[in-house]
A and B are shown apart, each in its own frame.
Chain A
Amino acid sequence: MKVRLVDIAHARSGDKGDTANVGVIALQARWYEVLKEFVTRNRVAEHFRGMIDGEVDRFELPNLNALNFLLHGALDGGGTLSLKTDAQGKVYSTALLRMVIDVPDAEARRLELPAAK
């Protein structure tokens, strides 16, 4: 079943130099396992292909039902050097929430995940 990240998580992002961070937090604690399993480092790197110049790092925060991603080379130099509208990576959070993941039907039903419309 196709599931939109925006229907199962919320997020906030910020910057550190030329790196944007995106923290993605499951809307329900039981959905954290879905984030953990399907929102992988490679999947996120693929999602942002062409938008960032560097690698992606991923960290798990089961205590907050959250994942933290570092998107390196995401901010056109970052800070005051950047010419981007989003020079401080404030809305990369919502760009990540555009992701659609494919969860096996049985698991999606067990966790009562909302299906993508």
Chain B
Amino acid sequence: MKEIVRVAAGQGFWGDDLDAPRRQVEGGQVDYLMLDYLAEVTMSILQKQKERDPALGYARDFVGAMESVLPAVVERGVKVVANAGGVNPPACAAAVKAVAEKNGAKGALRIGVVSGDDLLGRLDQLIAAGHALANMETGEPLSTVRDRVLSANAYLGSEPIVEALGKGANVVITGRSTDTALTMAPLRHEFGWGAESWDQLAAGIVAGHIIECGAQCSGGNCLYDWRSIPDLANVGYPFVEAKRDGTFVVTKHPSTGGRVSVQTVSEQLVYEMGDPHAYITPDVIADFTTIKLAPDGDDRVRVSGIKGKPPTDKLKVSIAYRAGFKAIGTLVYVWPDALEKAQLADKILRERLERLGLRFERILTEFVGASATHGHLAGDQRNAPEVQLRFGVRGPDRAAVERFTREIAPLVLNGPPSVTGFAGGRPKVEEIVAYWPALIDKSVVKTRVDLVQ
């Protein structure tokens, strides 16, 4: 058994630095490369792509990432775990296999494909069987938006990934699995942690939480002493060096920018945190109040002390549904009296929408440069050199939103003075795909692992 297992993060979301995966496997020794592609509404975008072309529906960036790390996987035995499968893990596996063959590595990959998370085809049957899939925030049953649902996926835990690795996979592709499982599963596989090794499983989850957003724990987006963080242009993505007892070190490769310190890791630990006593995952509930951090040399933080307890009998389900349309228009008003001019433009715009008889679920005005993000806390901004009027509408009627988009530009000539910043043209109408979080009994979700050679 390896004494230390290194799991490196190469992608914190779909759209992250394309070169990071390669830099992670070439910058020093790592055993596993973990790539997280799926944000909450990504699945619905992928579902739309799959509807247009049944061979799509996965994170296509992953194919390029695999191509860039292929030498490390084939020659040095680095294994890859990614949730790039989206709503079509088999198609993703086929694309990866094809790119390996194109690069002369035919037969070198054993791709474990995890499925079973996709509940879209089973929704009516599940609802009929009494699973309300009520919205965790509002309590409403899913039946209220059923006809507008685009995708529905259960968040899977570590078990199918561990199973795939146990079957000899060197690349594991999942659909909707929890971000943290992508890191914890390799550790569980390597160290043989049992299903009830609560503290170790929780440690693996915390390791996953720390590195799942990529460089956000290694100097990116770090407020603490931000001016002193070196060379963010060449920021080092993080990896963990874990031991069997569940303790681990967070670090990054030498000669990379950024920083790993108690402060950078602390900021990431509190990111998107709910109740710190109960970070709930399918495998274990981790207690973030037990985490101990200590400096361990340059760009190294030791993490220990983590406690876990048994999970619930539910899985979280991520459902995406069509929720109407929105558009946001902007104009920039300039000194003197920039804010006052923007406020008058807002008043005029509201009157015109009213006169046109346009009705919206929601209208929101913000004054960027004065109060958009800090509200009244920002204080008196009447002397601001410029203020952006940012005017958004949302509603079920596409035509009404469309009509609104024609009302911004006229203000330039028929509204308050000293206005600019309209070169972008009419605002774009966007269809809203909203997120519906729900819970479902674990017993109804059956996972499956296939090996593609």
Contacts and interface: CB of A to CB of B under 8 A. Distances in A.
Contacts of B374: 91, 94-95, 98
Contact of B271 (A12, A50, A81, A83): A12
A11 to B, nearest CB: 6
Given A79-B41, A80-B433, A68 B375 contact: no
A109 interface: no
Interface in B282-318: 288-293, 305
Interface string A1-25: 0000000001111111110010101
B177 interface: no
Contact of B366 (A11, A84, A94): A84
A111 interface: no
Interface in A11-63: 11-18, 21, 23, 25, 27, 47-48, 50-51, 57, 59-63
Nearest to B372: A85
B223 A85 contact: no
B437 A17 contact: yes
Contacts of A113: none
A73 to B, nearest CB: 10
B390 A14 contact: no
- Residue of B263, B274, B328 most packed against chain A (CB within 10 A): B274
A57 B218 CA distance: 28
Contacts of B263: 10, 25
A107 interface: no
Given A80-B41, A81-B434, A95-B374, A23 B289 contact: no
A94 B378 CA distance: 11
B423 interface: no
Interface in B164-200: none
B267 A10 contact: yes
A25 B266 contact: yes
Interface residues of A, number: 42
Contacts of A64: 266, 269-270, 291, 293
Contact of A91 (B274, B373, B394, B434): B373
Given A10-B224, A63-B289, A80 B432 contact: yes
A71 to B, nearest CB: 12
Interface string B357-384: 0000010101010001111111000000
A85 to B, nearest CB: 5
Contacts of A61: 270, 276, 288-289
Chain B binding surface SS class: mixed
A77 interface: yes
- Residue of B270, B289, B323 most packed against chain A (CB within 10 A): B270
Interface in B253-288: 263, 266-277, 288
A57 B293 CA distance: 25
Nearest to B379: A98
B323 to A, nearest CB: 6
A45 B378 CA distance: 17
Contacts of B53: none
Contacts of A50: 375-376
Contacts of B116: none
A92 B267 CA distance: 14
A76 B390 CA distance: 15
Contact of A23 (B271, B275, B292): B271
A83 B223 contact: no
Interface string B372-404: 111111100000000000101110000000000
A86 B372 contact: yes
Given A12-B268, A17-B437, A59-B277, A85 B366 contact: yes
A92 B69 CA distance: 38
B373 to A, nearest CB: 5
Given A10-B263, A81-B394, A47 B377 contact: yes
17 contacts: A10-B223, A11-B267, A21-B273, A23-B267, A50-B376, A63-B289, A63-B292, A64-B293, A65-B266, A76-B362, A77-B362, A81-B323, A83-B328, A83-B393, A91-B373, A91-B374, A98-B377
Given A83-B364, A95-B377, 8 more contacts: A10-B224, A10-B267, A16-B274, A17-B435, A79-B40, A94-B223, A95-B373, A98-B378
Q: Top 3 nearest A-B pairs by Cβ distance? A: A23-B270, A83-B392, A14-B272
